[in-house]
Structure 1
Amino acid sequence: MTIDAHQHFWHYDPVRDSWITDDMAVIQRDFLPEDLEPVLVQNGIDGCVAVQADQSLAETQFLVQMAQTYDIVKGVVGWVDLTAPDLRDQLSELAQYPELKGFRHVAQAEPNDFLARPAIVAGIRQLAEFGFTYDILIYPNQLKAALHLVREVPEVSFVVDHIAKPYVKTGEITRWSNFMTQLAAQPNVQCKLSGLVTEADWQNWSKRDFFPYLNVLFDRFGPDRLMFGSDWPVCLVAANYTQVKTLIEEYVDPWGSDVRDKIFGANAVSFYRL
């Protein structure tokens, strides 16, 4: 089964979705499974993992409903308040939905130490009891906190979204590489090959802009802990779906069909229990 491990759905709300700025006007509209399905078919992808974009339980319920309604949606990464006093009760209730695989918070919008805060670490630790995963969404200057988190909670399976958003546009790589090397040394951490084009020059990126970063990831994580994600529809500000998929396909191709099958499906199926 081929899987896109990272994409989003929403009914566009200009107030709630204020992060979609005017320079991202191409995605200032609704994006739903019926919009994605023909794109997946065209690109030979069997299904996807829908990831939260809003910090609300309503978002989690919306995505679960999408997964229950559309066969292409194989799993959901939702949102829950990790500091809620009744977190365990909420997780117990949410665990009734087999479509719900894990959780994420838009930590990139939080202070640099957010993921290392004791209350957040304690909340994420509770995910282990229910077998939930955690997606890490950060910028490079938040990698130190992420490293602290994954070391503190070895019982939870983590995946780094968008390769931690390195500064591709300026070519900075050393500090990012050092931290990603340390993250990769933790056996409970995987990484999504997603969100690359939006960290480059949207209008003038080249495939070779990303190769140094991909080289680091394949060397440190290896092909068993990496998974393809399109970040559709956010990717549309810089590239269409086929361009995003082809970028990773062409890099992976020399590794052979076994590795390609892992990156484009098997690893995501295993991590998210699809």
Structure 2
Amino acid sequence: MPHMPIIDTHLHLIDQSVLSYPWLSGTEALNRNFLYEKYAVQAHRVGITHALHMEVDVAPTDIQAETDYIVGLAKRGDSIIAGAISACRPEEHGFRVFLERQQINPLVKGFRRVLHVMPDNLSEDPLFRENIQKLGGTGLTFDLCVLPRQIDKAIALVDLAPDVQFILDHCGVPDIKAGALDEWRGKISDIAKRPNVTAKISGVVAYADAETWRVETLAPYVNHVIESFGWDRLVWGSDWPVCTLGGGLATWVAATHALLSGCSQDEKTKLFSGNARRIWNLN
């Protein structure tokens, strides 16, 4: 089998000795450190050659500190960190100045404002929308982390910013454990009609029953995303350490390879690395 290098577009690192994560107090399974050294050992074993760090919803006062922390890790000679997706607050008036500051940092490849745990109408705020539109022409992406019921609102945001490249996280966060497929399927088909949206096949094992899921459990969801977006608008992500809730990094990588068993080498390369290289201008 040809070597298949993987770019992980969704890595979370947690270091509570440096940064504050208020939400972790309510998530016992993840309320501990998940450091780069532990991830790197596992990543090398499964063929991950590059990783984008995804913001971890740190305390607002730690947003810049989180980016600085990742910059420090990326400067290590053997680091596989190739970029950072920074947290942001588009609903605030200081976003313009914040954006200008981040554009100076070549490691920052995009932004995310967690939406799936926020009021559904946050993305409808006029200032939020105005600030997202400012990303047009910058080459910086915006990750959409939304629940299925919020996809309609995500579509409205996408339509208002056609020059912005959006990334839909985690296949749109389907409730795989409950077998919820029909409503999610229709909304995925709808958002996939927007050419400025790329889907991220990432960490869906965390949404399945940790004890009973099999590759066949995930297949209807992953296959529908692939069919809806096409091979040129897909990227792969681990969602480590959240994926440990459904088996871990190696398990998710193995499941992805199984899900793609009937696909061509060219298709697999686009998903695992090619599209990410193009979208985020990675070497």
The TM-score with structure 1 as length reference comes to: 0.93
Specify every segment of 5 or more residues in structure 1 that has no aligned partner in the other structure, as ranges: none
Matches of 1:157 and 1:23, distance apart in 2: 34
Task: Letter of the 1:267 partner, please give it.
Answer: N
Q: 1:58 aligns with which of 35, 54, 65?
A: 65
Matches of 2:228 and 2:46, distance apart in 1: 28
Matches of 1:85 and 1:113, distance apart in 2: 18
State how 1:66-215 maps to structure 2 within 5 Å. 66-69=73-76, 71-215=79-223
Alignment CA distance shift 1:43-1:149 (3 Å): same
Secondary structure at the aligned position of 1:169 is classed as coil
Q: 1:28 aligns with which of 27, 31, 54?
A: 31
CA contact (8 A) 2:137 2:164 kept: no
Matches of 1:253 and 1:262, distance apart in 2: 15
Task: Letter of the 2:169 partner, please give it.
Answer: D
Task: Letter of the 2:194 partner, please give it.
Answer: Q
Alignment CA distance shift 1:22-1:97 (3 Å): closer
Q: 1:9: which partner in 2?
A: 13
The TM-score with structure 2 as length reference comes to: 0.90
CA contact (8 A) 2:24 2:31 kept: no
Task: Letter of the 2:50 partner, please give it.
Answer: G
CA contact (8 A) 1:64 1:97 kept: no
2:27 equivalent to 1:19: no
1:29-64 deviations in whole A, cap 9, x for unaligned? 222221111111100110111000124332233223
Specify every segment of 5 or more residues in structure 2 that has no aligned partner in the other structure, as ranges: none
Secondary structure at the aligned position of 1:108 is classed as coil
How many equivalent pairs are there? Answer: 272
Moved more, 8-17 or 156-165: 8-17
Task: Letter of the 1:134 partner, please give it.
Answer: F
CA contact (8 A) 1:4 1:48 kept: yes
Matches of 1:186 and 1:129, distance apart in 2: 17
Pairwise CA distance, 1:212: 0.9
Q: 1:40 aligns with which of 27, 40, 43?
A: 43
CA RMSD of aligned residues (A): 1.8
Secondary structure at the aligned position of 1:127 is classed as coil
Q: 2:52: which partner in 1?
A: 49
Pairwise CA distance, 1:23: 4.9
Secondary structure at the aligned position of 2:135 is classed as helix
Matches of 1:18 and 1:39, distance apart in 2: 26
Task: Letter of the 1:18 partner, please give it.
Answer: W
